[in-house]
Structure 1
Amino acid sequence: MVMEFFHNTKAVRLRSHLDKYLVADDDQESTRQSRNGGSKKARWLVEVVDRGTSDIIRLKSCHGKYLTASNDPFLLGMTGNRVQQTVPENVKDLRIEWEPVRDGFQVKLRAYGGTYLRANGGTPPWRNSITHDKPQTGSTYNWILWEVEAVDVPEDEHLNDYLSIVSSFSSVSDELSGLELGSPMSIRSSFNSPRASTTPRKSPLLKITAMELFHNAKAVRLKSAHNKYLTAEEDEESVTQGRNGSSKAARWTVEFVDNAENIIRLRSCYNAYLTASNQPFLLGWTGRKAVQTHPKRLDSSVEWEPIKDGNQVKLKTRYGQFLRANGGLPPWRNSVTHDIPHRTSTQDWILWDVHVVDIVVKSPAPRPPPPLVTHVDSVASESSSPSTHSPKSASFSRQESGDSLGSSPPKGGEGRLIYYGVADGYGEVDEGVEELCISFKGNGVEELTKRLEEETGLEDIVVCTRSPLNGKLYPLRLQLPPNNATMRVIVAQSSSKVARSFPKPVLSS
């Protein structure tokens, strides 16, 4: 519940949809919005009121006055009354009481008459003003939504004086918060715990779990909330979202940063790094461009911290922003930025599904290649099926005698070795990606197809071989070669251009 957060919080800051904070003006009477969230004027002391069935709080400014829903109109003839700082004659005055109402990851503060605390936008005199009102149109609904950040009241500001003032009608705890001054803690973390601490705690378990996903990955694809993939554009600079997850442009090579357990770098197919730049995506708007760069020196702008969020991952920059896949109308559509989302509707834009498309194959200790390796090569070269050949057969032989075939092939009862690569939409396989291998029992193409779907995480695939004569891909239609001969196949998706060009099978009458 939302009140569980306020019960464990000494003071809060309230941030509006305009990314501005509710502040108490120096005249000790008016309130407004300001971008200076670090100011003492943006801090509001929380008093929890025991009403039995109702969840009520009071908010006291740094001037010792209460946030009050007054009866004075903001402008004559217009809806919306002023929100002021006052010291009421009676602490039971209903105008200083607010009921927090949860709305997604944010809250609405309802006044005694059913109106809500509202942060106004637009032109002066509305700009930066604070009123209480009932939103009449959908376009202004988010004006009554606030993000709550817990802050500490430092000891050098005489916290004891604050507590003594409110002790007669406040249930503020005597336990001091461990937060640094101005350090934010999102309200959403408190919703997950019945007793949320005001001290932000890093959870090594979550981060290690996220990193374990990348530790075994040589290359990944990142799928956004819009079911599109993080894609490196051909200009070797832009980063967008695209539907073609099988494209090599959607493949990102994972690198690990020395002396940093929870940090990775992501390198595109153009050998450029995913970078959190300082370039604004649009002037006057939050969000900066995520781009590809070829830095002369690897710095923190190319470093990302994976943070697990359920079954997905957030990628955080060293400066606290998150990689964000934008939706909506152009120019936002399909763009990728790094930012801190403030609205409920965009919270999932920073969540990514991680698809591992290439794993790290750990090589055994160096040792002389066993004689059986040569036998496997000879069996592969003597097979009459085109599926046992490849234009890269010479390089494969060298690889088999080294890391990829560091151990002898499986014995007869263990099945055959199937080496495979994943093709892009045009049937090309990235030469820089190490070939993968599985052990497979059986001779059925359908069974092999299902097994490779499980291994690659792809759906609706076609298992192909490459002709040694013209280099073209051809789908496997018949049974696999007998005698458990080693094979090399190419995996293509049925929706790809190359798969659509395959000749249709001829059905016998």
Structure 2
Amino acid sequence: MEFFNQAKAVRLKSFHDRYLAADKDGETVRQSRDGSSGGARWTVEYIQGDNHHIRLKSCYGKYLTASEEPFMLGMAGKKVIQDMPASGKDIAIDWEPRTEGFLVKLRTRRGKFLRANERMPPWNNSVTHGISHRTVTQDWLLWEVEVMGILENNLLDYISPAPSSFGTQLHGASRRSDTGSQMSAMDIFEKAKSVRLRSHHDKYLTADNDEESVSQERNGTINNAKWTVEIVGHSNVIRLKSCFGKYLTASNLPFFLGMTGKKVLQTLPERLDSSVEWEPIREGVQVRLRTRYGQYLRANGGVPPWRNHITHDIPLRTSTQDWILWGVDVVQIRSVPDPAPPPLQLQQQPSDQSETAPNSEPGSPTSPKLTSQEPDDSFRGSAVKNEGRVIHYRVAMNVDGNVDENEELSFTFKGCMVEELKNRLEEETGLTDIQVCSRNPLNGKFYPLRLHLPPNNTEMHVVVVPSASGRG
């Protein structure tokens, strides 16, 4: 189930390197080489009260369904289709993800598995559910999960044991306030607290256990494949820190004498210099990581001793141009900045005024007495948390979820359930039959909140929309 944790939408790639795709007829399901089509995108729905099963909805609004209709008369496999169930309790649309290494099997409630068929027509590219009895077809039940979008939850680590699609995550999103432009490579790193980097060879950049060397590894679920992102000032440069607390470093040591490629290591220099800084450059749906001296992080292939090694270099041969391309898998989203500093600035003003102008104007947002008696750290740790969380909200201007970005109101809320927050917002706005939504930090779209609010009284920004709109 951890493969789908915090996933908003996914693509499923079969053992045959084809994607599970919903056909345009809104009924059939097959395998397709084209993973960029809308038919290959499946929205993940979680089942209330069930932590083991999910539902997958196609771009046509229908669910991936294990039907009881035989694929061919006399054969064991049964059809998998897109369908709208007559009841929300229809078990045919429920799938249980089961981990197999860094892949998954999807099992129905009747014990059958989603299967990607191969060989001669009519089996070729078809999708059924059944049980593989032959050794040669066991791998046809395995699927690779590519995460297309992540639900916003700053307090839960999103750990994806399989690749997330960097390009599709960013498609249609904007960089800061420029809603018309396409996001750059830097945007994904600014929002990510930690990432995994997947090479052209479908292997992950890995910090070796000797705490010095760096290599490629098929298993992306290990902690060694997780890199913490540090943003360098206000530049378009990042640092990547391994699980051992050392930085990904472009060294001056040649990988082989007489060869141009130089070693990439984990180091912890006394002074952080340009050797640990990398500039992300977008290349289609992937990125290149460039050093300050114009060389690129390169995942080597071929025969030993090059295989699985990491160097920095400029590839001159056409066959190795893709070796400097990396897919970015977001592991953890960067937390929203601490909301406490702005009130502190407001508090200091009346404190200063109390010394020079005792009869200062009433209506100051904070009390001079509180500021003068309590140190800054004390206020930040107690005043807001003791009273609950601060809820900032905007009201959608229409059913499409469009909001006035300048009109934001706020109040203090002590509850922990979405239903409680909904009732409070109905009181605040005078509206009824509303949905409480939050903005996805990666693509700017809205999604409805469910069940519990994030713990620890975290400050929240929400949008009140008519129930008919659902998302913005």
Fold-level similarity (TM above 0.5):
no
Higher Cα Rg: structure 1 or 2? 1
What range is the shorter-chain TM-score in?
A: 0.3 to 0.5
Q: With structure 2 as the length reference, what TM-score do the two structures score?
A: 0.41
Ranked by relative contact order (alpha carbons within 8 Å, sequence separation 6 or more), the top structure is 2
Higher normalized strand content (fraction of residues): 2
Q: With structure 1 as the length reference, what TM-score do the two structures score?
A: 0.38
